[in-house]
Structure 1
Amino acid sequence: MAIWEWALDAYGQPGVPEACLRLQDEHGQNVSYLLWAVWAEARDPALLARAAETARVWETVALAPLRAARRELKAPRPPVADGARAALREDVKAAELRAERVLMETLAGLAGAASGGGHAFDALKAASLAWGKPAPDEALAALAAALG
């Protein structure tokens, strides 16, 4: 299955959105990168380092600014009409999702057909370590369990 379709299916599983947002907001992780690592069963340190650098750059250039704009547009911003603000927020949300898809498809290209054959927790732990400050094992285990 292509990575984007897999990610959409995975994100629709009970507990996955909450675990992802916790890893993102509380532990500074990049959700697209983590999901890619599970999809690719990535554990190779060199591949994870290349993927983490790619994700860090894309996070800075596209994801973080779009996420910040989307979150800021959630609250009313008088004198801007609520309908106009909400419509713009939906456009920004769509752009943010597109940026996540671009990142995941780029990372999938880095991985090629290689598969580390690892379990979700192992891939998440290795990816989190390569990202920089690793997330706590319990937060990674919660995502791995939700992914099944």
Structure 2
Amino acid sequence: MGLWNWAVDTYGRSGVAEAALALQDDHGQNVPLLLWAAFARTTDPEALAAAAALARTWETSAILPLRGVRRALKAPLPPTPDAAREALRAQVKAAELAAERRLLEALETIDPGRAPLASLSDALAAAGRAWDPTLDPDQLASLARALA
């Protein structure tokens, strides 16, 4: 199974979306990067650096701008009818999801290195630190539990 299909299946499991979104919203983590790490199970520094750089580029150029527009469209925008605003918001949400899919597809091309598969918690901690060196690995515990 490819990364995208695995991520969609996994994200739909109980507790995964909530834990991932909390890491994104409360700790600035990149959910596609964390999902890639859980899939690839690597702690290889070169692979993690490449993955974090790729994720940062996609997040800055596509994902965050689309997320900002989607969130801004949550509130009414008179005189635009709510149905029209919600239809536009759905289109932006689809574009945001498409950008995350492109990121996951690009992450899947990164060679995870030759080291043996890491544990889920070690892989998540390594990816979290590659994204933000100040991250407390304990903040990843709820996602690790949901993914296990």
TM-score range, shorter chain: over 0.9
Question: Which residue number in structure 2 is paired with residue 30 of structure 1?
Answer: 30
| 1:12 and 2:12 matched | yes
In the TM superposition, residue 116 of structure 1 has moved relative to its aligned partner by 4.3
Decide whether aligned partners of structure 1 residues 114 and 101 sit closer, same or farther in structure 2, where only a CA change above 3 A counts.
farther
* Mapped partners of 1:28, 1:55: distance in 2: 12
Percent identity, aligned pairs only? 53
Contact 2:76/2:85 (<8 A) preserved = yes
Question: Which residue number in structure 1 is paired with residue 76 of structure 2?
Answer: 76
Question: Which residue number in structure 1 is paired with residue 52 of structure 2?
Answer: 52
| 1:66 and 2:66 matched | yes
* Mapped partners of 1:116, 1:124: distance in 2: 15
* Mapped partners of 1:130, 1:113: distance in 2: 15
Task: Provide TM-score, normalisation by structure 1.
Answer: 0.94
RMSD: 1.5
| 1:103 and 2:130 matched | no
Task: Provide TM-score, normalisation by structure 2.
Answer: 0.94
In the TM superposition, residue 53 of structure 1 has moved relative to its aligned partner by 0.6
* Mapped partners of 1:93, 1:80: distance in 2: 18
Residue identity matched to 2:71? R
Q: What whole-Å deviation, never above 9, does each CA across 1:3-25 have from its counterpart, x for those lacking one?
A: 11100111111111111011101
Query: How many corresponding residue pairs?
Result: 148
Contact 1:41/1:115 (<8 A) preserved = no
Which aligned segments of 4 or more residues in structure 1 are displaced greater than 4 angstroms? 112-116
Contact 1:32/1:100 (<8 A) preserved = yes
